Structure 1
Amino acid sequence: MKKHIQFRRWIIWSLAVAFYFYEFFIRVAPSVMVEDLFRTFHIGASVFGIISAAYLYAYAPMQLPVGVLMDRYGARKLLTIATLACGIASLAFGIAPKIWLTIIARVIMGAGSAFAFIGMVYITSHWFHGKILALLVGIGNSLGMLGAVFGEGPLSELVHIFTWRPTMVGLGIVGLILGLTIFFVVRNDPKSMEKHGPKKSSHLLKSMKLVCKNKQTWINAIVSTMFYTGTVAFGGLWAIPFLQQTQGYSNEEASFAASMIYVGWIVAGPFIGHFSDKTCNRKIWILICILLSLLFFMIIVYTPLTNPIWIFTLMFLLGTALSAQLLTYCLSIELNTPDTKGAALAITNFLVFVGGSIVQTFIGFILDAMWTGTLVGGARLYSLDMYQVGLSLFPITLIIGFFFTFFIKEKSKPWCS
């Protein structure tokens, strides 16, 4: 490949990752503006919950059309529109005089952000050869997740210095600049790699139908969904109250411990991707890491650990093992034809998100069903036994994922022959 193309592809990939980082940043933004929004709009927790969740209401269903649209129109136009939409929505959020306008702005943010991860993987698969696909997807995911990490402390400081409205306006301007940069720099496919490029479908549903008819798509998506529940439902919600109510951790300690899962993802994701590329085998790494995830989770939840260092370490190790879930996205591409890779990614990501949400909610139902009526400071208190029953869903999902992994028929890779 010519030097100017080699340089350009890294710029294009970096811009896709930058949008993924930006998407994570604006996703968590309301979490550092709680009291400000309460005071500005005279609202309570329930309305604030609607504001925050409005993002997800659009994000989840948009996963399905995103992949098909990528296959039809390519990444350049779609990422440009999506990034500009997020920027405009952030601006609207920052100047909104009424609460319903902030909700609409969050819906638009969610719809635009739905293109970020799939767009990053899509560009990676088009501009780079398969032998480094998993490595770059892992690095891209890690860099994107930093948006969530930095979207807490640094963003909180910006809100403290400038207040929430100017901060959101500033984020909107950043989004507009990024969107315009993507439009002028990003291209869908280099000529030297046209064999990786999408063939234009005569109908938007054609790619989706082809992917849905492939049994391997569903098997891999089930594995991906079962594997991800530990990240989205435990790390994203139940780890903090579990540690607070059963281990006596403060909110700060529990939050730090939960964040170690994401740190583990960030650190290990690229390495696991690289090892799977080098060994030409993704299934074995998924199987090993599911077993390790099961081991670390069982120790955390079912073993009495009083030393915070042990909890922090185990949470980090759990995150490193869970990061192998990224390999299922590489498999979703490799198990389908080149012109349907976007649709394959979309179906996988949609099921992952929906499945994680269901598990997350169902654990709450289990805890409430077992609740004995104990209140502390007006909040419901759940015992260790209750949490151990509710959180048993995670070992179950991991075992299901482990079982289905054996039915994935991994294809031989060109760079391994």
Structure 2
Amino acid sequence: MTSSATLPGDPPGGRKAVAVWSIGVSVYFVAVIFRTSLGVAGLDAADRFEVNASALSTFSILQLLVYAGMQIPVGLLVDRFGTKKVLSLGALLFTLGQLSFALSPSYGMALAARALLGCGDAMTFISVLRLGNRWFPARRSPLVAQLAGLIGMGGNLVSTLVLSRLLDGIGWTGAFVGSSLFGVLVLVLTLLFLKDHPDGHAEPAARPASRGARFVRRQIAEAWREPGTRMGLWVHFTTQFPMMVFTLLWGMPFLVEAQRLSRATAGELLTLTVLSSMTIGLVYGQIIARHHRARAPLALGTIATTGLLWACTLGFPGDRAPMWLLIMLCAVLGACGPASMIGFDFARPANPPERQGTASGIVNMGGFTASMTMLLAVGVLLDLTGDNYRIAFSSIFVLEAVGVTQILRLRLHADRRERERLVASRVEAVHVPA
């Protein structure tokens, strides 16, 4: 299996790899704090800028629109310039975005700040994935990727537990300005200590022709041509958005306004979602590292369970669902983040090292495009139906149906192509001179 094979030229891993990778992941950790900060501040933002549900959802939609639109360019930049330069630029941009959001006096300026934040955020995860691939052996890639996602969810936990309390304690400006200082810290660490690759494992110098538009088109076309890349995109599309929409913006209003819970109780349920995601991420990473064929069953099982719990919650008789059902829903939503990481495990073995950033960017577009679509749908439907959350959240089933159809269509094709590449790599390894 690709996941467990030791390939020629694999990086050694070790303590230095963990140290360097930890710096990169710390940037992603802070980016997630900033990305999800609106999830606990949504009601405060609506009051501060005096906007309705559709306008409030525009904050997150614009942020995700920029994020999704940047994924392929970022992948190309990472492949071309390396992790350190792209990650440093990302940290600078998302820090400026968070600081600007804290000080924005108007809705329009706040929108611009979230767009800037989304641009910087877009540069983090692809860079961290590439950093892991460059510093750790290929057999460790599924677990390393899940660990990165797990640590990112820790940033979500900070937003839920810490930022929400800061908003209550020191107010909007103090909470957001204070949090932006973490961005300054990780930017300094990146500039001083991050390295793109271990000594002796540098990639071959790029040919002059690889700097032009023809190279860009070829990178994108060759990555897209691989069924594993497209399979990864649709897995990411279908698994990520239910949790993303819930934690990024609409979970708190749904629990407080539709389910009539206190903000403290709603915050605890959001915390449960994050803790569940961190726990399940470790389990999924270990399973996939040992059993490569478990990727599709895990992804489809997560999608089915998520859809079932949403159907039970939205269809429960009466005005509100019982607490035990909400607890189950939030716990299951926590599996969506780890399941979305499986998408990268389809794209990674389908593409050579020099195309990893581009392929990962294509995959990462999936979930954020779905999240952006769902955020818009919920906001518009809430305004059209007079805040009927049952109708608004029912749009989840449409996106899940589209995604599952594509996954089932591509599954066999992706498996066959991956087996062909595995056989070719084994033949090549046999002929490598000792």
Per the TM superposition, whether the score is higher than 0.5 is: yes
1: CA distance between counterparts of 2:57 and 2:378? 19
For residue 398 of structure 2, what is the amino acid of its counterpart? L
Q: Please identify, of 228-237 and 268-277, the stretch whose mean Cα deviation from structure 2 is larger.
A: 228-237
1:375 aligns to what? Answer: none
For residue 335 of structure 1, what is the amino acid of its counterpart? A
Match of 1:44 among 43, 50, 61: 50
* Structure 2 CA distance for partners of 1:301 and 1:161, relative to 1, 3 Å: closer
Partners of 1:17 and 1:120 within 8 A in 2? yes
2: CA distance between counterparts of 1:190 and 1:232? 34
1: CA distance between counterparts of 2:71 and 2:115? 14
Query: 1:258 deviation in Å?
Result: 5.0
Query: 1:67 deviation in Å?
Result: 0.5
1: CA distance between counterparts of 2:189 and 2:260? 48
Match of 1:264 among 261, 271, 276: 276
1:148 partnered with 2:156: yes
2: CA distance between counterparts of 1:104 and 1:234? 23
SS in 1 for 2:26: helix
2: CA distance between counterparts of 1:388 and 1:93? 28
2: CA distance between counterparts of 1:194 and 1:254? 48
1:111 aligns to what? Answer: 119
Q: Deviations over 1:300-359 (max 9, x none)?
A: 444569541243034313433662221111221221121111011111111321123224
Partners of 1:90 and 1:109 within 8 A in 2? yes
SS in 1 for 2:35: helix
Query: 1:219 deviation in Å?
Result: 3.2
* Structure 2 CA distance for partners of 1:161 and 1:103, relative to 1, 3 Å: same
Q: Please identify, of 42-51 and 311-320, the stretch whose mean Cα deviation from structure 2 is larger.
A: 42-51
Match of 2:408 among 396, 403, 406: 403
Percent identical among aligned pairs is 21
2:239 aligns to what? Answer: 227
2: CA distance between counterparts of 1:288 and 1:307? 24
* Structure 2 CA distance for partners of 1:77 and 1:234, relative to 1, 3 Å: closer
2: CA distance between counterparts of 1:359 and 1:88? 27
1:139 aligns to what? Answer: 147
Q: Please identify, of 170-179 and 392-401, the stretch whose mean Cα deviation from structure 2 is larger.
A: 392-401
Q: Deviations over 1:198-231 (max 9, x none)?
A: 9563336132232123343223312321232332
Mark the runs of 5 or more structure 2 residues left unpaired by the alignment.
1-8, 430-434
- Aligned-residue Cα RMSD (Å) equals 3.8
1: CA distance between counterparts of 2:115 and 2:394? 35
Q: Deviations over 1:356-415 (max 9, x none)?
A: 32244345666777x4xxxxxxx5346x5x468544325524642552334422444989
1:342 aligns to what? Answer: 357
Q: Please identify, of 284-293 and 27-36, the stretch whose mean Cα deviation from structure 2 is larger.
A: 27-36
* Structure 2 CA distance for partners of 1:86 and 1:362, relative to 1, 3 Å: closer
1:180 partnered with 2:188: yes
Larger relative contact order, structure 1 or 2 (CA cutoff 8 Å, min sep 6): 2
SS in 2 for 1:45: coil
1:357 aligns to what? Answer: 372
Query: 1:66 deviation in Å?
Result: 0.5
Mark the runs of 5 or more structure 1 residues left unpaired by the alignment.
372-378
2: CA distance between counterparts of 1:271 and 1:239? 25
* Structure 2 CA distance for partners of 1:199 and 1:287, relative to 1, 3 Å: farther
TM score, norm. by length of structure 2: 0.78
* Structure 2 CA distance for partners of 1:401 and 1:264, relative to 1, 3 Å: farther
Partners of 2:235 and 2:407 within 8 A in 1? yes
2:4 aligns to what? Answer: none
Query: 1:38 deviation in Å?
Result: 7.7
Match of 1:332 among 342, 347, 359: 347
Partners of 2:146 and 2:341 within 8 A in 1? yes
Query: 1:97 deviation in Å?
Result: 6.3
For residue 119 of structure 1, what is the amino acid of its counterpart? S
Q: Please identify, of 208-217 and 356-365, the stretch whose mean Cα deviation from structure 2 is larger.
A: 356-365
1: CA distance between counterparts of 2:205 and 2:291? 27
* Structure 2 CA distance for partners of 1:74 and 1:152, relative to 1, 3 Å: same
Match of 1:275 among 287, 291, 302: 287
Question: How many residue pairs end up in the alignment?
Answer: 403
1:393 aligns to what? Answer: 398
For residue 401 of structure 2, what is the amino acid of its counterpart? I
Partners of 2:274 and 2:334 within 8 A in 1? yes
1: CA distance between counterparts of 2:21 and 2:93? 20
Q: Please identify, of 70-79 and 283-292, the stretch whose mean Cα deviation from structure 2 is larger.
A: 283-292
